[in-house]
Amino acid sequence: MGAPGWNAVNVAVVGAGALGSLFAARFALADLDVLLVARDERRAARIRENGLTLEEGGEERTARIACVAGTAGERARDLVLMCVKAYDTKEAIAAHGSLAGPDSTVLTLQNGLGNLETIAGAVGADRALAGITTEAALLLEPGRVRHTGARRDQDTGARGRARTI
């Protein structure tokens, strides 16, 4: 599974806001093993019970997804996608950094400065990546996200593994 040339099969998405929910839903609907980390147990329980619904292109699709508020006891993942607000990065990586094992990659798609450095300080610079996205989403309620668009004409210059993630 996963992108061609890359063997990630299990993903953790830290942050169940608009972008975190968008990416978690897409990964789950592509049959990847996904763990979504929500801010609190009430939100996590709602997503576990009702699934994660993605509204996109006039269609609704719901993925059943593992969702937790705390990650104690969870296994390390191949990819950990950080989608929390920049001011929550330090707390989030401290609380959920155990999701990043020795062979994991932690990818930040966050706005703001200093996120990559904070993550690299926690997991090591060789396992931390900064990315960009032109995807846009609106969180309608916990467990329900609408994809509102993406800019497809931008070339970041990324090549190889960076482009496939």
Q: 3 pLDDT exceeds 90? A: no
Q: 1 pLDDT exceeds 50? A: no
Residues 6+ positions from 133 with CB-CB distance below 8 Å: 19, 109, 150
| pTM for this entry | 0.87
- Distance, in Å, from the CA atom of 157 to the CA atom of 141, rounded to the nearest integer, reads 35
- Dump pLDDT digits (tens) for 82-141: 999 999 999 999 999 999 999 999 999 988 889 999 999 999 999 999 998 989 999 999
120, 90 contact by CB (below 8 A): no
57, 35 contact by CB (below 8 A): no
> Can you tell me whether residue 136 is helix, strand or coil?
strand
Average pLDDT, the chain: 89
61, 54 contact by CB (below 8 A): yes
CA distances (Å), origin 106, targets 117, 124, 125: 12, 10, 10
Fold of 10-164: Rossmann fold (3.40.50)
